[in-house]
Each structure stands twice: as structure tokens, then as C-alpha cells.
Structure 1
Amino acid sequence: MPQPTSALTIAPSPAPLLRAEDVPHPERAVARRELVKVRRGVYAPAQTWMGLAPWTRYLAEVHAVLLQHPGFVFSHESAVALMGGPVFGNPGIVHVLAPDVGASRLASGIRTHTTSDDRALIVADGITIAAPAETAVDIARARHPAIGLAVGDAMLRLDDTLSREHLQVLNETRATKRGRRIARWALGPLDPRPETAFESVSRAVIEWLGFPAPELQRSFVASSGEVDRSDFVWESDALAGEADGDLKFDGRFGDAGALLRRQRVRDARLRQHVRAVAHWGWHDATTFSPLATLLRGAGLRSIAPQNIAALTSMRQALASRAPHPAAAG
């Protein structure tokens, strides 16, 4: 039975959704570009819709399915979106769970997953979704390991009762073996300390580039008494790393000039404790060569060969699919 929870709040639809029966002549409104069709029978104001980012449109699409099918149980990226977790681009497909009757299927943009496992479900705001642990394992089994790591880290942050070990056991004990081996890498280094999906993806890229694992979220106290926390620290190389770059300074978090001046002052405080501070953006990490060059130029030494297969597939999966800025750094 689904367990109700008051700790989780469902992310609301970012656009008003209108049923066809509530709009006079909706197709005419679409032709006049006043409405857009989100799904058959569900519409949204065109002006609002055009201003939504891909990941935000996806959340609205999930809510459109919910509007039509309030009894559905949401899973995979759809559960992640409803929990406010990191969604990369617009996955396009809404995922739901069903009893183990027949094969999984895709119809009208809805992927129905069947399972014989007794899945843990939760009810939040009257909506039933796969529990964070189930969602983390689903994504780790079915998506690129960098995405699996980012979502797994996010689920640990969301539910502080979860542990890496619990998710690993859940992966190993599911009835089906499909995706089990793929999930093992993503579930191995899970850690709730990264504050964003971008930091989690950067962790994966750093390992696949052959660099040593950094210390996460280390705090430093400056001579002025101010405390600064760095995303990544390599103490042996006296290097700090910050996953921000293009996402932080594109204007969505305030005046770019003021942010850059604050960063310079902060970096000066950090250099009281480290030799250098490296900053990188989404493109640097997900196309990986720029990040490799940046870290080598900052004096970081490799300890292993590059995992070219993982890096190349990650670039194909993620380079053009940044997650929500609140989850991306």
C-alpha cells in the first residue's frame, strides 16, 4: 500500500492547464496562438508555455497526464520531476507503474512499466509516486550512469533516511536483472553532500577523466572570519574546484557583474588555503576535454587512464541537456 508522507511536497505545474471541455473552441484558440496543446484534451496559455524551459515543460506534461488520469502511479523521470529533483532537458515520455499484467508499453506519450516487485510507493498531496529509493534505482538501471549518480545523490538529499547501502541492496534484490549491472557504478559513490545535479555530474566526469576523487563541500575560515565552502577540494594538490561557470553567470541568478565581483573576492579568501581555484561550466564538464585541460592546467595530476567510453556516451546523453538551474549550479 502507498504510504502517505507530509515530508514531501509535489512540485506544482508551472503553467495553468485547461481541459478541452473548459475552453470554448480550443482548436480555434490554438490556431490564434492563444493556447498550445500539451496533450490531447489538455491546453496551456501559449505565452506562458513559450517561456518555459524544457525541464519545466516536462513537469507540466506530467501534470497534464495527472489531470487526465489522477489514479496513475508515476515513476522514473516523472517521479523525479514531481519530487522537484533534477530532470535533464525534456525526456518527452511520461512514466507510470502498473501491476505485472502483460508487457511494458508506450502509447500516447506514456510509458507504462510493469513489475512483479512489491514497489514502495508514497502519496504526497494526493498524488501517488514511486518512493525516492525506487526512483533512484529505476534511473540508475535505465539511464546513463552520470544521470543515475545525479538522481541518486538528489534522492539521498531528499530523504535523509536513505543510504547508499540500502539502494545497492534494492538494486541487487529486484526480481529482474535488467539494468542491474549498469546501476552498480551509479549507486556505488552516492553521496548527499553535492548540492546540485551539476556537481554530481562533475564528480562522474572527474573520475572518468582519471583524476583523484576530491573532498566534497569542504569549509574554510578566512582570516576575516568569513566561512567559504568549496564544491571540490584536492588537498594534496592545494586545489579547489567550483562547478558553476555559465549557469551561474547567465543572468538568471542576478546581475552577472556583481556575481563575478563576489566570486573574485571569495576566490581570494579561498587562496588563503589553496594554491588555485578552478571554475567550470556545464559545457566544460559534459564535453569533458575542456574540464580535463582546465584541471591539468591548474596542476591536478591524473591517477588512472581516461574512461573514454563513459565520457563519450555521457557527452551524447548530457551535453545539450542541462538540468534545472536550481539543480545545476
Structure 2
Amino acid sequence: MRVRRGVLAPAQQWAKLKPWERYVARIHAVVLLRPGVVMCGESAAVVLGLPIFGEPADVHVLDTPTATARLHGGIRVHTTHADRAIVQVGGILATSMIDTVIDVARSRHGAVGLAVADAALRADPDLSVETFVAANESRASIRGRRVARWALHRATALAETPLESVSRAAIEWLGFEDPTLQVAFRTGGALDRSDMWWEKARVIGEADGDIKYDGSLQPSAEAIRKEKDRDRRLRHHASGIGHWGWSDVARVAPLRDALHHAGLRPVAPETSRELLSLSTLLGRRHASGRDRAPDRETATGRRD
């Protein structure tokens, strides 16, 4: 299988890769052919350990201001007259965490920008929403500035996975109130932490990633049993509990139904344009498997 001209991979192994893993391989192929190239945008996000969605079409690289921005052979060259901080990770050069977050938030779907900003805050406790907002506003170029504001102002390290980040975006666009994140409830000797909590309605929301039930961490039956026991404890504190996964957010209606069934009611009209674009995005792409790595994308002591 030709990854790029001059870079080959065994076809059987390539076929087994998930979309985001193929994208990682394509980035490494570009680095092999162009040593010293600087990754930016979604490609820099990969290098920095931030989430991506599916397999992006292009590898994004940053060139000198005198170069020509262009797309050729799956490599999209970006140029800028503004300074970009460059870091090295595993021998690969990439734009800094702050610059990468701003670039993605300015150029990609709002839910993607939010997931990347949330992940950056989890990865580096020295970063903050104020840092992102200031960096976005201080750039000389206004292109994408207004678009980025939506994600950057809502970013939080409390959203522990890309699914939680994307769910928060969908919940807002469905017209529901913003939840409080990571609220703990004690029942007897057990302490359970919810993904989302709506205090007025006494509703708990749980964004359950595929890994929870796919058997990779524990037998599926055991995972289901633990969830039922946990829900039984949480019902001492909540009047309703809603569970959803990636496919529910992608189709939108199942997420809406789960929240309604749990007892939550919208407080604002739905934003159909954003919901449709989110459904289109997730219909062909799930978030990268980086939310599967407990040391990078989930907090210590996470129940799943």
C-alpha cells in the first residue's frame, strides 16, 4: 500500500488501521520525505496528542511567509506572516499547543474546536481559557477569529473525553441548559462521579464511549453490570439518568430523546444549522482513539 510516493506499508496491516491511525501514518510519511517540516492545524494536533475526528483529507504543514499557500498531493501548505511558536515532539516539529488550538478553532467545526481546546486544557494545567481567548484576539489576521470564539470561551478541562466535549456542543444546540461537569455523589461507602449534572431538574447525563463496552478494558457483561449498580446508587440523588454514545450524538434525535426521557426540558430553540453540520461530521467520522488513553485523555481514577 503506497502511503506516499516512496513510502509503502504492508497492505494487510494498513487495512486494519482505524481512520485516525491512517492519518498518523500519513503524517509520519510526510516527515520521512521532508525532514524538518513543521506540522500545523489538525496535523499538529496529532503530534501534540490532541483529538482529531476520523481521517482528515490533508496533512497540514507550515511554510515560510514567502512561500505559496497550496494543496498538492494531500499536503496543504499554510503560510503566515505572524510568528508561530514551534515545539518538537518525538522528533517531529509542530506549532505550539496554543497556536494549534487557535488554528483548529478558527478553521474547523465548532464541536471539533471545542474538543481540541478541552483536551489541551487537560493536557497542560498552565493553559487557560483566558490564554486561548487572548491569543485568538491578539492575532493580526481576523480570519476565523469570530468563529473560534464560540469554542474557546466554552473550553474546560472538566470535559474528560472528546465525546463529552462534542456532547456539550450538541446539548447547547438542542436548547438545553449547560450542565455542571464531574459532580460527585456519595451513596453509603461508594463515591460516583457523573459526567453531567442538571441540578434544577435533578438529571444526570452520562456520555459512554465505545471503549466502555467493547471488552478491551473488561468483559462487556461486567461493564454492563457495574453500570446498572452505579445507576442504582445514583438514583438516590437524581430523578433521571440519561446515557448516550457517539452514534446517538451523530444522529442527534437519540441524544435529544435520552435527555427528554431522563426528565430534562429545553430552555431555548434548537439551532438546526449547527446540529445538521454536527450530524454530517460525525456521520462519517468518530473522534480519534486518543480518548482511549487513560494517561492522556482521562483523569486518574476515571471509572471506565
TM-score by length of 2: 0.92
The aligned runs of 1:123-162 (5 Å cut-off) are 123-162=88-127
One-letter amino acid of the counterpart of residue 307, structure 1: T
Distance change in 2, residues 1:254/1:37 (3 Å): farther
User: Structure 1: which 5+ residue stretches go unaligned?
Assistant: 1-35
Gaps of 5+ in 2: 293-303
- What's the CA shift for 1:121? 1.4
Which residue of the partner structure matches residue 227 of structure 1?
191
Aligned to 1:296: 260
Q: What secondary structure does 1:258 align onto?
A: helix
- Superposed displacement of residue 247, structure 1: 5.0
Q: Aligned residues, how many? A: 293
Counterpart-to-counterpart distance in 2, 1:40 and 1:89: 23
Preserved CA contact (<8 Å) 1:247 1:325 = no
Q: Which residue of 2 aligns with 1:31?
A: none
Please point out which of 224, 228, 231 is paired with 1:264. 228
Distance in 1 separating the partners of 2:186 and 2:288: 31
Paired residues of 1:247 and 1:282 also in contact (CA < 8 A): no
2:26 to 45, 57, 61: 61
Q: Secondary structure at the match of 2:36?
A: coil
Equivalent of 1:188 in 153, 162, 165: 153
Cα offsets for 1:177-215 (capped at 9, x unmatched) = 111111111111110111110100000001010100101
Alpha-carbon separation, structure 1, partners of 2:205 and 2:78? 40
For residue 212 of structure 2, the aligned residue among 237, 248, 257 is: 248
Residue deviations 1:164-189, cap 9 Å, x none?
Answer: 11111111121211111111111111
For 1:84-233, list aligned pairs within 5 A.
84-223=49-188, 225-233=189-197
Identity %: 47
Tell which structure's C-alpha radius of gyration is larger. 1
Question: How much has 1:45 moved relative to structure 2?
Answer: 2.0
CA–CA separation in structure 2 for the residues paired with 1:127 and 1:289: 41
Is contact 1:231-1:243 (8 Å) kept?
yes
How far did 1:312 drift? Answer: 0.8
Q: Could you tell me which of 308, 311, 321 is aligned with 2:272?
A: 308
TM-align CA RMSD:
1.5
**Distance between the aligned counterparts of 1:161 and 1:243, measured in 2?**
27
Contact 1:245–1:279, Cα closer than 8 Å, also in 2? no
Q: Does 1:284 align with 2:254?
A: no
Amino acid in the other structure paired with 1:229? R
Distance in 1 of aligned mates of 2:282 and 2:114: 13
The letter of the residue matching 1:47 is Q
Q: Distance in 1 between matches of 2:288 and 2:79?
A: 29
Whether the aligned pair in 1 keeps the contact of 2:48 and 2:89 (CA below 8 Å) is: no
